[in-house]
Amino acid sequence: MQAWSALDETEGRNSVLRRRTSIRLLTAIGAVVATLAATGCGSGGVPDSRTKLTVWLMSGPVPDATVTAINKDFETAHPGVTVEYQVQQWNGIGQKLTTALTGTSGGPDIIELGTTQASQYTSQDVLQDLTDSIGDLNGPQWLSTLKESGSYGGKQYGVPFYAANRVVIYRTDLFQKAGISAPPTSGDEWLADLAKLKALPGIDPLYLPGQNWYALLSFIWDQGGELAENVTGTWRSTLNTPQAKAGFAFYKQLVETSGTTAPKDTDEATPQQSDVISKGDVASFLGFGSELAAAITANPSLKDKFGAFPIPSRTPGATAPVLEAGSVLAIPANSKNADLAMDWLKIETSAKYQSQLAATDSVPGTSSDTSALQTTPVGKAMVAASKNGRVTPNIPQWTAVEADNPLKSALTAYLTGRKSLEQAVSDADSAITATLTNSN
């Protein structure tokens, strides 16, 4: 009995020692795992499954399928990293962006900014400086207007994403019926064609709402006018000039010559142009391919009945300057995954995905290959017009100008006869200058 007791005691001590050794080993392994998890890496420095790249893109023309493919390529190249793709709405995005960009955690790693809002953020030190990375992001192929929109103070904060410009989209059958065999190549020819179309009963020759200020910009720029200039460090309106007034006057010529049924006190979104076009009694309008597509979806009988041409210039054979609307992509300064975000941008700016953007009726932001875009009449006209693309003043104060937009109210006052050309333009000029100077 004593022998068995001694043996049992010895075995018991050994068992305790084995358990203690196992516990120490497991504790050490746990510490290693915890350390790797804290750094977001597993074996070989690969981020673990909890590493997440958050991408905010706006609701728009870029198909989800394209973004999904970009995300898949990125995740394949970065095992253990997942992309959280969130589609944002333009309405209310300003406050949401401000909150995200000034926060300390949980914000996006990549954001999309509209060209007219970009300077509001590029001027506030809330975005990563990408100047030294331009060469890694297909920089030589960047669309100049979008590059300008993403820059501030000599530094680059935004990468061109996509662009679009308004063109004249027209019913080929109605133009032929009016005896018009080819699109106009000057402003005067355009007016003459509208007069011919006006003779067609029940047809609106050119649907042009009274507050389409995007179209107004083309006419102002085409006449040699500008919107604003920097005078000794202070931005002021340059609207009250003969050139800008000539742009307003041409707008009124289009309205009166066409006899458009469009309201004079609303813009192209009220009502939506696509809803108006789908009724089938509009011969032409200024807009995007997406609006035409929506109209055809609502009224399939209109399919294959439309052509397009760039807005004609007052100079025969030339196209008028156009506002190059679009977006840039940026990396927030508070992103915790800036290096991963840069890798995502490298994939997005590759020729593979830029060609896909061109196939969706968008001018690709970082590629000169627009062959896919030119397979449609609207796309072909957009490419031709984009060579003369322009942007609004690339300053933070311009966001405040657009919020109230004196250009819209000036157009309505002038077109309805409530104000003379001189008074309408003078009032708008004063209002824009006041906004620019008060926003400094």
Say whether domain 45-164+325-389 belongs to CATH 3.20.20.70.
Answer: no
Q: Given this model, what pLDDT does residue 389 score?
A: 94
- Report the pLDDT value the prediction gives residue 157, as an integer from 0 to 100: 97
Give pLDDT tens digits for 203-234: 999 999 999 999 999 999 999 999 999 998 89
Residue spans of the domains in the chain: they are: 45-164+325-389, 167-323+398-438
The amino acid present at 390, given as its one-letter code, is R
- pLDDT at position 371 is 86
Strand order in the sheet with 51-58: 81-88, 51-58, 110-114, 325-330, 159-164, 363-364
220's enclosing H/E stretch is helix 213-222
pLDDT in tens, 255-296: 999 999 999 999 999 999 999 999 999 999 999 998 999 999
How high is the pLDDT of residue 113? 95
Q: Which numeric CATH code is attached to 167-323+398-438?
A: 3.40.190.10
pLDDT digits (tens, 9 = 90+) for 114-140: 988 899 899 999 999 999 999 999 999
Cα dist from 280 to 94, 267, 272, 411, whole Å? 37, 20, 14, 27
Per-residue pLDDT, 440 = 58
The whole-number pLDDT of residue 362 equals 84
The answer to whether the beta carbons of residues 151 and 157 sit under 8 Å apart is yes
Res. 105: pLDDT tops 60: yes
User: How large a percentage of the chain has pLDDT more than 90?
Assistant: 75
How much of the chain, in percent, has pLDDT values that exceed 70?
A: 88
User: CB within 8 A of 132, min separation 6: which ones?
Assistant: none
Q: Where are the alpha helices (DSSP H) in 40-143?
A: 64-77, 93-102, 118-122
Same fold? 45-164+325-389, 167-323+398-438: yes
Instruction: Give the residue, 217 or 356, on which the prediction is more confident.
Output: 217
pLDDT at 49 over 50: no
Residue type, 41: C
Q: What pLDDT score was predicted for residue 167?
A: 97
CB 428 within 8 A of CB 247: no
